[in-house]
Amino acid sequence: MNFAEKLKLIRTTKGLTQSDFAKTIGVSRANITNLELDNVKPTQMFINCVSLTHNVDKDWLINDDDNSLDGLKSYNDLTKLIAEKYEQLDDEYKVFIEKQIQELLIIQEKHIQQES
């Protein structure tokens, strides 16, 4: 199973349209369409974003020889650790972290648009 097939599998497993899936990672629907049709190759940033946003194993995502569904089941250990640490923060620090994440997403979206 190649990247294009795995991307579509992730999206359909979550019951998302191409538009809704695109919004979750800050790209256009057309970008998702082209990736699912294997018309374009994903950037490393896009792969990282899909992996983190949808909790799939990055190695599974890029390994065309891995036809298992194990990558869909994984939950990144780093993501778990971050969530645990986040829950320990006072509310004012949580707000700060959320703002920083929003800023990073804006920067990432601009970067992805420049690559397209």
Per-residue pLDDT, 79: 65
pLDDT of residue 77: 61
Distance CA 45, CA 47 (A): 5
**SS3 label, residue 93:** helix
pLDDT, tens only, 73-101: 654 566 667 777 888 999 999 999 999 99
The string of pLDDT tens digits covering residues 31-76 is 999 999 999 999 999 999 999 999 888 999 998 887 776 666 654 5
pTM: 0.62
Class of the 3-115 domain? mainly alpha
Q: What is the DSSP letter of 37?
A: T
